[in-house]
Structure 1
Amino acid sequence: MKRFLRGSFLRDNGLSAGFGAMFLAALVGQAFAGQADFNHRQLVEGGSPVTLLQYVTSSDFAVNVAENWQSEYLQFFLYVFATVWLVQRGSPESKPMDQIGTESDKKQKTGRYATEDSPEWVKAGGWRTAVFSRSLGIVMAVIFLLSWTAQSISGLSVYNAELIADLQDPVSWLGYVGSAEFWNRTLQNWQSELLAVGSLAVMSVYLRQRGSPESKPVGTSHAKTEESG
């Protein structure tokens, strides 16, 4: 098995391939479970069941997917930017205590310190280097905003369908994003993601996972910062 994987695509892209496969499996599972739950509610309320294709193209499915995506990418966006300025003594998730901030060009290999194998936008200088220097956080923020927008639009459709079924007037998009229903959906996801990130930063100070880059080496002092094993 090791010989097969050595130098292969799966070996070189194991994390992305593994998590990509698990993501697709979970998404398919969510589609089937969501359809079953939706059809149950439809039958209880005297409605008609829908096919799997009808369900995965519905607002009900879209809002459930988008509200999770937006909270995940908010977490990544905040973490990418926060770790520039915030540190946690003893955590492998943190920079050393004396390196708070965007760091020097020499440390980051930008400007005259760029090397031959540096990305083209780093060697170009000017606005391209400035953008590339923040590209990870920018992309995370864009995906968050897009998924948040998708959640608000699909959630509005579901919410208005419920209001109409109860013989109430539908609301506008602004009315929905200012409603308790929208923020209840949103904040219950945000708080769980922020708790998970904060917990990892603190737990990794005192706990270990042998061989994981998210953990310090097993025998490393609790006080040692920015060392992974």
Structure 2
Amino acid sequence: MNATKNESSTTPGPLRRNSLPLVFGLLLLGALVGQAISGLAGVNADARDAGLQQIGMLEYLTSSSFAVDVAENWQSEYLQFLLFILLTIWFVQKGSPESKPLHKIGRGTDEEQKVGEHADPDSPTWARADGWRRALFSHSLGLTMGAIFLASWLAQLIAGHAAYNAEQLRELKAPLTFGDYLTAPDFWSRTFQNWQSEFLAVASMVVLAIYLRERGSPESKPVGEPHESTGVEG
């Protein structure tokens, strides 16, 4: 009876079990608030310098200027994860916990993936199914990340077009059509400056995690694990 009580008392509650996404959600909210406050201050400072009317927070939050700044960051983040999910199927890095073991390149066998007749009793229903349901579930993470990337990239394109033309009109210049903006330096400059930072961050994590450690993190190898150990998490 005491053992049961002790066991139940050590079981994490719902907040603890979901603490990682909750903490990141709060960090996201804090960053958005900070971006809104500083962004509004910047927009109003530019308006004062140009002798234009200043705007309030609600107007700024619903503006194309705020939307494009948010969307261009979101699309690059989801592109980063999409590429990392797909490229780590086939590409490896010896010694990195971010890589699969060197001998496990590829999508694996049905037995390794626990699908179909090899599924466990508690495996997801669609992992036990045949045909399109298993195929769809087998690629659901990549498909979802890709869909979110495309949606946020499209949002960046639409909001960026509106924000760019608003600036053009303020400067008494001709606005661009949607097609012209798609090939304009402003759009691709915004896009590439975000992509390159994401690629650098992932490459740095893959390589630095070979030789450096963070005790207790699943993104790091155990502190005493040899540098050449691959696909081992702490």
TM-score (normalised: structure 1): 0.96
Matched with 1:205 is 210
Of 146, 155, 169, 1:164 maps to 169
Q: Does 1:136 align with 2:141?
A: yes
2-structure distance, mates of 1:104, 1:22: 39
The match for 1:190 is: 195
Distance in 1 between the 2:224 and 2:186 partners? 48
Equivalent residue for 1:94, pick from 84, 95, 99:
99
What pairs with 1:106-117 in structure 2 (closer than 5 Å)? 106-117=111-122
Compared CA separation, residues 4 and 155, structure 1 to 2 (3 A): farther
The superposition leaves residues 181-205 of structure 1 with CA deviations (integer Å, 9 ceiling, x where unpaired) of: 1111110000000000010000000
Question: Distance between the aligned counterparts of 2:105 and 2:179, measured in 1?
Answer: 39
Counterparts of 1:11 and 1:5 in 2: how far apart (Å)? 11
Structure 1 unaligned spans of 5+? none
Residues 62, 96 of structure 1: CA spacing in aligned structure 2 closer, same or farther, 3 A cutoff? Answer: same
Identical pairs, percent: 52
Tell me the alpha carbon deviations over residues 24-63 of structure 1, each in whole angstroms, 9 at most, x when there is no partner. Answer: 1111111111111111111111111111111000001000
After superposition, the Cα gap between the structure-2 partners of 1:48 and 1:6, relative to the gap in structure 1 and judged at 3 Å, is farther
Question: 1:94, 1:111 → 2: CA distance?
Answer: 26
Q: CA deviation at 1:176?
A: 0.7
Which runs of at least 4 in structure 1 moved beyond 4 Å after TM superposition?
3-6
One-letter code aligned to 1:103 = G
AA aligned opposite 2:134: T
CA distance in 1 between counterparts of 2:11 and 2:52 reads: 55
Paired residue for 2:154? 149
After the TM superposition, which of the residue ranges 125-134 and 158-167 deviates more from structure 2? 158-167
Match of 2:32 among 27, 37, 40: 27
Q: Which runs of 5+ in 2 are unaligned?
A: 1-7
> What is the rounded CA distance, in whole Å, between the counterparts of 1:9 and 1:41 in structure 2?
46
Q: 2:84 aligns with which of 71, 79, 84?
A: 79
What CA RMSD, in Å, does the superposition of the two structures yield over aligned residues?
A: 1.3
Aligned residue identity for 1:182 = F
**Matched pairs, number:** 227
TM-score normalised per structure 2: 0.94
Letter of the structure 1 residue corresponding to residue 23 of structure 2? G
